[in-house]
Amino acid sequence: MTLLQPAAPTEQQLRAVGLLPAEYAHIRARLGREPNPVELGMLGAMWSEHCGYKHSRRLLKLLPTSGPRVVQGPGENAGAVQVGDGLAAVLKMESHNHPSAVEPFQGAATGVGGILRDIFTMGARPVALLDSLRFGLPSDPRTAYLLGGVIGGIGHYGNCIGVPTVGGEISFDAHYAGNPIVNAMCVGIVETERLMRAQASGAGNVLLLVGADTGRDGLQGAAFASNDDPEASHRGVVQVGNPFLEKLLLEACLGVLEGGTVLAMQDLGAAGLTSSSIEMAARGGLGVEIDTACVPRREHGLTPFEVMLSESQERMLLLVHAGAEAAVQRHFARWDLHAAIVGRVTDDGLLRVRDGREVVAELPISLLVDEVPAYELQTEPPAERSVPTVTKTFETPNEALLRLLGSANLCSRRFAFRQYDSTVQGNTVVGPGGGAAVVRVEGTRYGLGLSTDCNPRYCRLDPRQGAAQAVAEAARNLACVGARPIAVTDCLNFGNPEKPSVAWQLTEAIHGLADACRALEVPVVSGNVSLYNESGGRAIPPTPTVGMVGLLEDVSLAVGAAFGPDAVLVLLGEPPGGLGAGEYAGDGPFPRFDLEAERRLGNLLRALIQARLVRSAQDVADGGLAVAVAECALLGHIGATLTGDEGCGMRDEHGSVEVALFSEDQGRAVVTCAQDDLAAVLAQAATFGVPAMAVGTTGGDRVRFGTDIDVPLEALRRAWETVP
């Protein structure tokens, strides 16, 4: 075989495909020649940050990934944990930040499509979607464009395919103006023994490309997502989704697994046919041969380079027993889907790409996968700076509560989730609007609690503590619906890791995730790293988003956050110690945060819910106690009266109520119970070592905090339902 020997590329050309000059030098030395353009494109994709994790791989080894329920940890398309009765929950979170910055509707829509494929390629049926979104300030005209497009894209894809979007979060910060964050999470259910892996086996077995035709959309998207200048790219890097086709693909792929002829399955995501075929071969320690001339095309004139690197959506690569191709093709034909034979597994450890009879690329699989560099990051912590002190505001508590409820980061998210079908499939028990959602595991007594969390303000202040707090808040949200955390998936969104300050943020955040996951005994089973999130040379705040799944042994026990009438309010956790960073005061000292206290609180909440002693539960988080109580009142259309100085020690030594009402000190929750159950609730709290006190009652049509706040629910609702 003789391959075309091109001239050495320039540094700019290397950067365009995702490679650094030193990396190219290693590749050239390893091959003993210049890689041709097709090979260079594939190497750039596989060695990109998006596929190769070259700036984060060493750090990710710090995360705890094992546990008694773990069936599949990191390294596959998604992680899986045992639920019970022979079933497993499959979970994954991914980013689509860069495409969404270019074209928000399709960027977000195809992000949903991609995360769905990550789940059903494991043989699992998707049962829930969640999202975590970050935008610039609402006053920025571009924010409205991005926000509307992203929410529209999420709703369009999830609604059309019939998977409920049950939860998520949205926040606004000026530092996301040029680079929004769009993270999508999906959870599915599968019989544990039928879990599918993407591992090649059996030289001579056949590769089938199933689903949509291949076009130029999404070309070199992996390299684009590993570039610190997304504004310099073009619309062609954004894929175009077809959720109705993906619905057919989903059902056809799950159905074909019944026959036992499929040995492995891999979706075509970042780097398209290149990564899917190479990763499948690498996991099996084998080689692979692809014929691009056999790939069904949507457009005329596609070159082998374009075919191998296209990221056209709704495509899957299946490995089937040799001789079973015709049966598999007939199966997909019944769903009006093609299943084209595009290659086979080999035993020579090479990726060989043909275009008909012509060999257009030949590379060792080990070079593409095992020899991707893993960099030791050069970190540089920020210069010592004084922590901002909180200055006294001149609002009344009434004014402050209304301002907070109407603020962009705390107002109702109904404007978004009303566009999502959150009840399709009929298993949603607790839908969007609270801290965590709950879905029933169909045909069983089990339920899954689901939450996504991250507070960029905290992470900007202290990336390690901020990442740990994201884990703790997700666990707290699950505890408030009665679920025990069983698995984490994450999406680590940061700027350019080649900059020492960003490398420090990334390093600290991963240490924080590891600290919290170990303390709360919850493994990380899957995730994604999204780096180079910068615009105009300015990085986003460190944003280590945490997606968490919890288990309810009996889904009928699940509680929501909404107040009911004639109940007693009980505040759980240590009284706040100060007014630090938060929505009320802005930047300041990191709020009080203790992982052991979080563990005790979570155990207490689950015990109270299991004993049916509480009617509602809500964690005290952004905005503090006043906002938590107001939200529960608005959700339940029931007012509340807190007893003020006598009941919860509202005033400090200076007579101020600010700390009690608006502190975001962590490890706290508000629950309601019947008067007859109050003694039992307080006794349980003492047993678990959690401070607890009755602080008020529910009822009426106003929210009152002693003599300091007295606002009608209607006025609170007008503020809360403001659209950013």
* Catalytic positions: 50, 96
Q: Give the amino acid at 718.
A: R
The 10 Å Cβ neighbour count of residue 553 is 15
Task: Say if residue 653 is exposed, middle or buried (CB neighbours under 10 Å; 0-12, 13-18, 19+).
Answer: exposed
> What are the φ/ψ torsions at residue 715 (nearest 5 degrees)?
-70, -40
Contact in structure between 183 and 493 (CB atoms under 8 Å): yes
> Looking at this protein, which amino acid is placed at residue 410?
L
Token digits for 95? 């980013």
Pairing relation of β-strands 484-493 and 524-530?
Answer: parallel
Residue 268: partners with Cβ closer than 8 Å, 6 or more residues away: 209, 275, 276, 311, 312, 315, 316, 317
State how far the Cα of 260 lies from the Cα of 666, in Å rounded to an integer: 50
- Scored b (16 or more CB within 10 A) or e, 624-634 reads bbbbbbbbbbb
Residue found under tokens 């009426």: 700
Q: Is the dihedral of CA 608, 609, 613, 618 positive or negative?
A: positive
Exposure of 571 in the CB half-sphere (CA atoms within 13 A): 24
Residue 463 to residue 499: CA distance in whole angstroms: 16
H-run or E-run covering 485: strand 484-493
Q: What are phi and psi of 345, to 5 degrees?
A: -85, 140
Q: What is the spatial distance between Cα 253 and Cα 251, in angstroms, rounded to a whole number? A: 6
Q: How far apart are CA 462 and CA 536, in angstroms?
A: 24
Angle between the N-to-C axes of helices 595-610 and 678-688, in degrees from 0 to 180, rounded to the nearest 10 = 140
- Determine contact, residues 542/419, Cβ cutoff 8 Å: no
Three-state DSSP class for 532?
A: coil
Cα separations in angstroms, 700 against 421, 638, 639, 721 = 32, 6, 5, 20
In this structure, the number of other CB atoms found within 10 A of the CB of residue 358 comes to 13
